[in-house]
Structure 1
């Protein structure tokens, strides 16, 4: 815990994969992201460990409404009698009525998988939802949490600047960094281009905007706090460009998706070894297989849209 910030492992997929955060100020709390329904007991336990009760939580701020970040929002809000949900204007309707969100994901994964992975989505009363356009400030007992529109990963994405902690909560905008890949050179980071709203130019701009805040740390959903912010931003910019180029190269290829997955695997594996990590491809994919799959899907969707 640092500056009243508590990292909560939501338990999604595996330990050290998916984080939410609790910010505590003068006996009151704000959650940032919440994981799935199955994370709710962990979120409530984190409150007790911080010396708070559910009634002490004033805010639940969502970086975006992808289900690994926001799937449990309705269930968690049902346990927080005094909390208000804060969400990007493009995502608010999906929290008030999650039926379209559920239907879209179920069409891809099937209802059985959705139930097992996320649990049923629970609607949040509209009067408990606040839309946060760019520049919206959430006040937690005098502590300003500034919401910034940061598209690129998703058009409904916001990041939260905590000036007191000199930190940002970045959801997926500032990439993914799993502690299993840390070396003496520090953390390894990679962008996430998961479908369906990846936009490399917008993501470049959002990363630059976050870096200009001159913070000491970025708090990622996947996973935890990272420092050396400017170096990591450079790494992200380089990989966004490399990934976009691979997506362009994939156009018209036979077995395009598999070709792109293999190309991304080689890109990440090469950069990891430059970073001083000595594991095998299989060990890398034990952590990154899902991200490679989703990144490939998102890149194909973006490339097809961009080429038209």
Structure 2
């Protein structure tokens, strides 16, 4: 299957290479970014624009799948460089782009001021007049190329995914999981669901995946990381794992060492699946690649259990 040359994958250089992607779509000389990484990613975004033969003035849209900082932390700084662009974001995420104080406070509480400065750079507001709210079914036009936004909760309640009918592809943010290229095998891409510590919801996530599948996509463009094909098979694997993760959460709930239990069981789940998939890395290497995601998924399951109990 040929890759659409009008879609450019940008490594935002967050944390490590081939970990965090943003995308650039160019149509008849006009451009749209989908996600943007952190404030430290702005030079990479502008360099990708130049490689595509575009100037900052050619960008009409910055579309955010959601407002987690690895996707949207650089939005305010990037928008300062894009004089004609508007920012499109889920209704629940728009207030956090206009005033990112709560985002900054939440991230600082978790990571500390020094780490926020080191990994995320400046987190600046976007003028309200430049922000466009996307509800479910929102459509926009990029120089005659239609893009459709669907509300896709599960990873977060402020998440949308973008359908590009031209390439028959979704830009999935975190809704369609994560798939790192070093875990590929002769069978293709290896995929894992990704939760968020606060808003993970298993059933809505499965419903969001099913909605995207209904469009019969040929490819998915993931933030973590890049373009994947074999979409129906990967979707089935995601749903299986979401159900397995729910089972793990139930088994670990109520234990005094719940977090340790969640981490250990998730690690075992993903290592077993990596072995079956034929990943070329050994268990220790696979565990190292997925370590941060395992920690986040454990936190997400714990938050879901506590919220579900309430």
Question: What TM-score bracket applies, with the shorter chain setting the length?
Answer: over 0.9
Distance 2:288 2:259 in 1: 19
Give the drift of 1:278. 4.0
Structure 2 unaligned spans of 5+: none
Distance 1:27 1:11 in 2: 26
Matched with 1:23 is 25
Cα deviations by residue, 1:113-136 (Å, 9 ceiling, x for unpaired): 111110121011000000000011
Q: Does 1:226 align with 2:232?
A: no
Matched with 1:247 is 249
Cα deviations by residue, 1:48-99 (Å, 9 ceiling, x for unpaired): 1000000000000000000000000000000000000000000000000001
Matched with 1:87 is 89
Matched with 1:301 is 303
Distance 2:236 2:119 in 1: 34
Q: Is the 8 A contact 2:135 2:150 kept in 1?
A: yes
What is the RMSD computed on CA atoms of the aligned residues? 0.9
Q: Is the 8 A contact 1:194 1:296 kept in 2?
A: no
The TM-score normalised by the length of structure 2 is 0.98
Map 1:1-308; keep pairs closer than 5 Å.
2-308=4-310
Distance 1:81 1:129 in 2: 13
The TM-score normalised by the length of structure 1 is 0.99
Give the drift of 1:195. 1.1
Q: Is the 8 A contact 2:183 2:280 kept in 1?
A: no
Distance 1:286 1:252 in 2: 28
Cα deviations by residue, 1:136-162 (Å, 9 ceiling, x for unpaired): 111100101101000000000000000
Distance 1:103 1:33 in 2: 21
Aligned residues: 308
Cα deviations by residue, 1:242-286 (Å, 9 ceiling, x for unpaired): 001101111111211011101000000000111011422220122
Q: Mark the CA change 1:49 to 1:278 in structure 2 (over 3 Å): closer, same or farther.
A: closer
